[in-house]
């Protein structure tokens, strides 16, 4: 082979080998170990917060349905044709106010008839007393038979009894005449009329419903565990039971527009038994409603303090990292190294999380870049500028 051709092939081979090794050399230069990069740039700055120990109030939340403190269905006590509606639907009516009127003419006729019957019996009694007064001395003189006197005495007694019955008939007729004016027995808001003027109504007819809304009730169901916790709280306050807890277990109502109702409620009813189908116990709370803002049928969220965890460890929710159903936090050791610590969660209160086990008071936990932290990584911790809020104070201010 000519010398020139041999030199050309050798140079070409060298260039091919060099080109094939060049990417590997470049890759080797660019991929530095993490600890080498950390040495080059220094420990990563990391915002941490100290785990705090404090008393933590735990709140229960339930969905409640509002109902009138009293929901009175207005029905007539007599049958007849409805001739007038005397109230405006949706307005406030007062106890004793006339809501409807039934045609009174048949009942006025019954009253007049009963009065006439009473007068007739009274006249019969007068005649019987006259006969008795006349026949008594005659019977004593044996001018008439004793049986005649006995008949006179019996007639007077019968007429007196008839008068009692006739007076009762008059009173019944007067009551029925008064029942033609259907009145409200409570003060509250009157609903829609369920029947119209001109309809024939009877005692089985429901004319309307009047609801007492100040105060107003709200019904909600709680679990057996929550019931026991609330009862223990009532006992701790010196109350005999949850029903008599008064203001020791205040209720907070949040309306559908997420606004907190300004008045506190109290428990006024505890059902006799737990519903076996739902496992809940029905509770009723009472709320002042001076402005009539709350109406029956509304929904709201009820909140009440069920218990207080003493000396609980709390951290912000953002410090948690979930891994396959378990939770862990990144703790910064005194040597400024990362230690991934599994934790057991307690209840969540606001944006804070109660830790049942895994942390000690004062442990510094990371609150940022948690997914980038690894066991043993060196960091430069910096305490967060805003410390976690005191849960007890936060919840108290929310309740006011």
Q: What is the mean pLDDT of residues 192-214?
A: 95
Q: Is 109 helix (H, G, I), strand (E, B) or coil?
A: helix
Residue 203 CA to residue 75 CA, distance in Å, equals: 6
* pLDDT tens column, 340-392: 999 999 888 878 899 999 999 999 999 988 888 889 999 999 888 765 555 54
Whether the pLDDT of residue 29 is over 60: the answer is no
Cα(271)–Cα(356) distance, rounded to whole angstroms?
33
Two structure tokens written together for 115:
């009065």
pTM of the model: 0.67
Reported as half-sphere exposure (CB side, CA atoms, 13 A), residue 200 has a value of 0
So what's the pLDDT on residue 42?
74
CA distance 191 to 189: 6
CA-based nearest residue to 303, from 287, 288, 319: 287
Domain 104-179 classification at class level: mainly alpha
Please say whether the beta carbons of 182 and 76 come within 8 A.
yes
The rounded percent of the chain whose pLDDT value lies above 70 is: 85
pLDDT in tens, 257-296: 999 999 999 999 999 999 999 899 999 999 999 988 999 9
Using alpha carbons, select from 331, 340, 339, 334 the residue that is nearest to residue 366. 331
| Separation CA 22–CA 15 (nearest Å) | 11
Specify the pairing of strand 208-223 against strand 252-254: unpaired
Structure tokens at 313: 């460890």
Query: Would you tell me how many other CB atoms lie within 10 Å of the CB of residue 306?
Result: 21
Domain 41-58+309-399: CATH class, spelled out: mainly beta
DSSP string of 150-176?
A: HHHHHHHHHHHHHHHHHHHHHHHHHHH
Burial call 211-238: b when 16+ CB within 10 Å, e when fewer: bbbbbbbbbbbbeeebbebbbebbeeee
Q: Domain extents for the chain?
A: 41-58+309-399, 104-179
């Amino acid at each position: 082979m000519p010398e020139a051709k041999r030199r050309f092939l050798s140079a070409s081979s060298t260039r091919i080998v060099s080109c094939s090794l060049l990417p590997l050399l470049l890759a080797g230069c660019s991929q530095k170990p993490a600890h080498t990069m950390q040495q080059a740039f220094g420990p990563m700055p990391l915002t941490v917060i100290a785990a705090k120990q404090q008393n933590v109030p735990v709140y229960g939340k339930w969905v409640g349905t509002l109902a009138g403190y009293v929901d009175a269905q207005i029905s007539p006590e007599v049958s007849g044709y409805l001739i007038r509606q005397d109230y405006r639907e949706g307005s406030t009516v007062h106890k004793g106010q006339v809501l409807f009127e039934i045609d009174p003419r048949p009942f006025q006729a019954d009253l007049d008839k009963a009065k006439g019957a009473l007068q007739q019996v009274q006249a019969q009694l007068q005649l019987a007393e006259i006969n008795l007064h006349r026949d008594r001395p005659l019977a004593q003189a044996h001018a008439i038979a004793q049986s005649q006197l006995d008949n006179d005495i019996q007639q007077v007694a019968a007429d007196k009894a008839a008068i009692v019955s006739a007076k009762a008939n008059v009173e019944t007729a007067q009551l029925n005449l008064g029942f033609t004016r259907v009145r409200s027995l409570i003060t509250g808001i009157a609903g829609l009329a369920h029947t119209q003027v001109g309809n024939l109504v009877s005692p089985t007819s429901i004319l309307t419903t009047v609801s007492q809304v100040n105060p107003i009730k709200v019904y909600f169901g709680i679990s057996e565990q929550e019931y026991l916790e609330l009862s223990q709280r009532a006992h701790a306050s010196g109350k005999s039971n949850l029903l008599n807890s008064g203001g020791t277990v205040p209720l907070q109502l949040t309306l559908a527009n997420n606004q907190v109702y300004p008045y506190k409620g109290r428990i006024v009813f505890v059902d006799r038994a737990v519903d076996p189908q739902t496992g809940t116990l029905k509770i009723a709370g009472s709320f002042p409603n001076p402005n009539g803002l709350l109406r029956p049928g509304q929904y709201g969220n009820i909140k009440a303090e069920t218990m207080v965890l003493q000396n609980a460890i709390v951290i912000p929710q953002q410090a948690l990292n979930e891994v396959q159903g378990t939770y862990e936090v990144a703790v910064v050791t005194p040597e400024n190294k990362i230690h991934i610590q599994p934790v057991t969660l307690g209840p969540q209160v606001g944006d804070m999380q109660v830790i049942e086990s895994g942390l000690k008071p004062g442990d510094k936990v990371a609150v940022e870049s948690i997914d980038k932290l690894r066991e043993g990584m060196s960091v430069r911790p910096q305490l967060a500028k805003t410390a976690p809020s005191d849960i007890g104070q936060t919840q108290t201010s929310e309740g006011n």
